[in-house]
Amino acid sequence: MKIRRSKIRRRAGDMQKKILLLLLGGVVLGLSRSPKTYFSILKKLKKEWDDINRSSLNRAIRSLYKSKLVETKNNKDGTMTLVLSKNGRLIALSYNLETMRLKKPPRWDKKWRVVMFDVPERLKKVRESLRYHFRNLGFRKLQKSVFVHPFPCFDEIEYITEFYNARQHIRFLVVDQIDNDLDLKKRFGLL
């Protein structure tokens, strides 16, 4: 089986490329019965792995670690292994981007959750995906890349941020007041 690097490079960034390669390699290795094919695939995967941008990989790992979705495990040989934390496992198992919904608490805490993002033009598809997911979660648009919601949603926003590897482009705020508070309360049915 040939892995075509040029197509992968055009369609996805480095982190997506790594994920695609690992998934593809795992599936193919699992289905491979021939040792010759098995080792040929391993050799190609290693070459592809070596081509992945290490700084992007390190940023993604640091981001996961900061969000407490992964933990480090010290090995006897002095190396360190990253493993999903309990919270990371729960999030990985509980969220599906297409069916994700925010729970409405019995009482509103009178705080607004504001999500702002500034995604560069070269990542236009990520920007459009973020808008889609925020609307799908029930957020209302304040400005072109600023969305608001009245109910707790930090974990869901963290998940979306990690999924798109967009931590550097997204900010999340919890605020007490917004100047068009009355209009937002009407739009969310809080009056």
- Rounded (5°) CA angle 29-43-59: 90
Residue 8 has pLDDT above 60, yes or no: no
| Contacting residues for 151 by C-beta, under 8 A, at least 6 apart | 102, 103, 104, 105, 108, 113
> Which tokens sit at 108?
């509103």
Question: Is the distance from CB of 114 to CB of 141 less than 8 angstroms?
Answer: no
Average pLDDT over residues 173-186: 93
Ranges for all domains in the chain classified under CATH 3.30.70.240:
112-187
Regarding the domain delimited by 112-187, which CATH topology (the fold level of the hierarchy) does it fall under? Answer: Alpha-Beta Plaits (3.30.70)
**pTM of the predicted model, to two decimals?**
0.55
Average pLDDT over residues 20-44: 61
Higher pLDDT: 183 or 17? It is: 183
Lookup result for tokens 């500034």? 118
pLDDT in tens, 41-92: 677 667 666 666 667 666 666 666 676 767 777 888 887 766 667 766 655 5
pLDDT in tens, 118-171: 999 998 988 998 999 999 999 999 998 999 999 999 988 988 887 788 889 999
Residue 12's pLDDT band, with cuts at 50, 70 and 90, is: very low
